[in-house]
Amino acid sequence: MRAITAVTALASSLVLLGSTASAATDPARDLSARVSADGAQRHLIAFQRISDTHGGNRAATTTGYAASVDYVAGRLREAGFDVTTPEFEVRRKVDDAGRATVGGTSHELVPFGDTPNTPDGGLTAPLRVVPEDGTPGCEASDFAGQDFRGSVALIRRGTCTFVAKYANAVNAGAAAVIISNNVDGHLDLTVPGTIPGGSASKAGGTALAALAGQSVTLDLRHHDEVHLDRNVIAQTRTGRKDNVVVAGAHLDSVDAGPGMNDNGSGSATLLEVALKMGSRPKLPNAVRFTWWGAEEAGLIGSRAYASALSFEQQLDIALYLNFDMVGSPNPGYFVYNDPGLPYGSKHVEKAFSDFYAARNLGPEGLNVRGASDYGSFTALGIPAGGIISGGGEVKTVAQAAKWGGTAGMEMDPCYHRACDHLGNINREALGRNVSAAAHVIASYAVTTEGVNGVPSRAERAALR
C-alpha cells in the first residue's frame, strides 16, 4: 500500500444480498464460512520463507518476487484455474546520492521515487521545520506560521499519508521536501511530484530539526533501470465472461522487508478465497483473481494490465475489489470511501460495510486516494472498492474501545519496515477480513444487480 488518509464513520443497516435463500444455499455465506485465517496463514508462511531465502524481501524485479509469482501461479494451476503471468516493464529506482548537508555535517537521505533530482552541485535553501503538533504536515494550516517559499520543508512522518504531506509542502511553495521517520530506519518511498524529495531516519530528522533556519544543501539523485516483471491472472472457467468480478491484491513488498502485512496479507487472503471457491464454481458470473506486481513502485503492474484492455474488455468487468493490508497488528476495519469514485462504487462500499456492521465491528470509511491498485480501474470508470486494516494511522481511544488494540499507537508500526514479518500479523483481523473478502466476492459472483447495485453491462456502456 502506498498512501492512505482521512477517516470518517460509516452507517449501514441493509443486508448485503437481500435474498431469501437459506445459509445452506447461499454461496456467499457458504464461502465465507469455508475460508479461514489458518488457510491464509499457510500462504503467509510460504511468502515469509520465500523472503528469508531470497535476500529478505519480495520486492518488484527481485528473485523473491519471482518466487512469489511462481508459488501463487502454481497453486492456482493445481486447482484447475486458467492462469497467465503477463509481463510488463518496471522502471526500478537506483539511488545515486542522498544527503542533506548543514555546516559541513551531512545526514543520510533516501531520494523519493518519481521526484526530480536536485541540480548539479545540489540545492541550497533555508531549512524550515513543520511543527510536530500530532498531525505534522497533514493540513495546509501547518505551513501557515512560516514562509516556506523556496525552502526545504522538514516534516515528521505520522497520521496522514506521505503524499498529503508532500503536496501540502509543494502548495506552500517549498523547493524540496524531507520526510523524517518516526521510528528507527529509513523510508524508501515513491511520491510522484514536481520538486525533489527524500526521507531521513528518525535520528537524522531530529538532528536536522535542531538546525531549523540554517542553510541546507540537498543532494538527491537517482535514476531508473528497466526490468521485466509479471502479474498473475487466474479466472474461473464458469460464469458469464461479459460480467466479470475482478478481485486483486498486490504481491510485491518494499525492499526493506518481507511485506507480510503489506501485502502478503491481501495476497494470501485472495489465494485462500480463490482456492476455496475453486476453478469451476456454480455461479452466474466469472471471477478473475489478480495479483499485481510493482504496486509499491507506483501501481505499475495493474496500470499496465488496465491500460491494455480494449473498451469492450473494460465493459466486460462489472467491478473491481481490492485487498491491501488486511492483517494489521493493531487493526481497524476500514472500507474505501474515496469521493468521486465511478458510479456503482458506493454499492461496493456498502457491501463491505454491511458485512462488518452485521458483526458489530463498526466499520469506518477511509479515503485511500487511489493509492492502491483499484486506482488503475477507477481511472477507466470501473466501479471499485476494498478493505484495509490500517497502516500509519494512529488508533484513537474510540477506535480502541470498539476494535480492541492500543490507542495512541499506529495500526501497523512496521509498515514498510523490516519488522513486517509473520509476527506482524493479527490473526483475528486476518480471519475476519478473509471472510469479508469471500462473502463480497461470492455475492457479486451471484449478482451484480438488484441490492448489490452495480450497473449492468448496458448501463455501464451508457455511462462512459
Q: Which residues are catalytic?
A: 295
DSSP-H helix ranges across 320-426: 345-357, 374-378, 397-403
Query: Which residues, other chains included, contact 313 with Cβ-Cβ below 8 Å and sequence gap of 6+?
Result: none
> Residue 292 phi/psi, 5° resolution?
-100, 145
Cell numbers for 191, please give them. Answer: 511520491
CB 437, CB 387: distance < 8 Å: yes
Q: How many CB atoms lie within 10 A of CB 10?
A: 21
Nearest alpha carbon to residue 37 among 420, 364, 438: 438
**What does the alpha-carbon distance between residue 51 and residue 57 come to, in Å, rounded to a whole number?**
5
First to last CA, the chain: 28
Nearest alpha carbon to residue 130 among 191, 216, 205: 205
DSSP-H helix ranges across 53-183: 63-78, 162-171
**What does the alpha-carbon distance between residue 447 and residue 290 come to, in Å, rounded to a whole number?**
20
- Residue 234's beta-bridge partner residues? 83, 289
- Look at the alpha carbons of 361, 366, 372, 378 in this order and tell me if their dihedral is positive or negative: positive
DSSP code for 261 = I
Angle between helices 266-277 and 427-446 (to 10 degrees): 50
Query: Which value, in Å, is the radius of gyration of the alpha carbons in the chain?
Result: 22
Letter for the amino acid at 42?
R
Nearest alpha carbon to residue 157 among 149, 148, 166: 166
